[in-house]
Amino acid sequence: MDFELTEENRIFRDAIRDFAEKEIAPLVDEAEETGIFPKQLFRKMGEQGFLCPRYPIELGGGGGDKVTECIMVEEINRVCPGIAAALMAQSGLATQPLYHFGSDELKEKFLIPAIRGEKIGAFGLTEPDVGSDAASIRTRAVRDEDHYVINGTKMFITNGPICDYVVVAAYTDPTKRGEGINLFVVERGTPGFSVSRKLDKLGNRSAETGELVFEDCRVPARNMIGGKEGGGFGQLADTLVSGRITYGARCTGTAQAAYDLTVRYAKERVQFGKPIVKFQNTRFKLAEIATQVDVMRTYTYRVAHLYDQGKNVRKEAAMVKLFTAEILQKILGLCMQIHGGYGYMMEYPIQRFWRDGRLYTVTEGTSEIQRMIIAKELGL
């Protein structure tokens, strides 16, 4: 099997890498310190087709595929996982349900502006008391003539404090576990929709994350994705499978950044009269990390390619998320160890990647949930 990138992939990789280094890198320190996302990046990336690279050009996207999106995600994460988190939410969770299942009206009003970076999207699934067990959400949407009235709270929502719209999961029929869920698009400024608080996080600080509250929030019935009650759980599953593959690229980009920083440090740090990279112990650790990063990247691209071919990759997507997120923890631990005491100092960027990467075994499906999915798909 050929795992080489196409010429178009390589051209895109070089272009997005150049953009990340020139347009994103200078913004990282301020965004991390203030916890405020540089919103101008949405439009800048949208104008060049970088924001949502796998959607059609006629919609404002890059006209690429899942592999193309993974390249974008990896390169942005190499620069700043926090900023990448906000952009990933836009390119995947907040737009994919609209692209695959939304009406023409919803696509015109929300999807196209989001792809172009003119509107910022968020995705509301997790709740204060509901995380891994998505079918147990408590948010309700009750039909009232040509509207639905939504009540509930969503937690840990990336882009929540800055979004122009949020795709909200809510039960229209709570008697049908899972199957009674629907997705709704709720606009910022809709009465009853508020950001109750912005969350202060250990890592990924440049991504703005919030708690969203819906109190008798009246949403037009036409804002239901899919056009009929029920079926939202399947839409969620489709979106989450894609997101798990994306997370493989997220983990790979973070691992590559940690490796690059550690090699640079090992060449500069002198102990016992020579750079520590000359010690076999250090070189062996770096060789192991380089091997692991290559495997992470290769497997992520393989599954992304299968996804592009329309294959059922529910098992493989969970494997990507589980493998890359868990291996990343080992890589970050080794990189921090090689840095020694300096790695624990805020002036060295390795600590930021260490803090950011710790989230990956938890968000968008914990490692435990991925193991459950894999076991089920294996018939165990």
What is the maximum span of the chain, computed from C-alpha positions, in angstroms?
79
Task: Report the relative pairing of strands 165-171 and 121-124 from DSSP bridges.
Answer: parallel
Q: Are 243 and 66 in contact (CB under 8 A)?
A: no
User: Is residue 364 annotated as part of the catalytic site, yes or no?
Assistant: yes
Q: What pairs with residue 141 in β-bridges?
A: 150
Of 187, 364, 368, 377, which one is the catalytic site residue? 364
Catalytic residues: 364
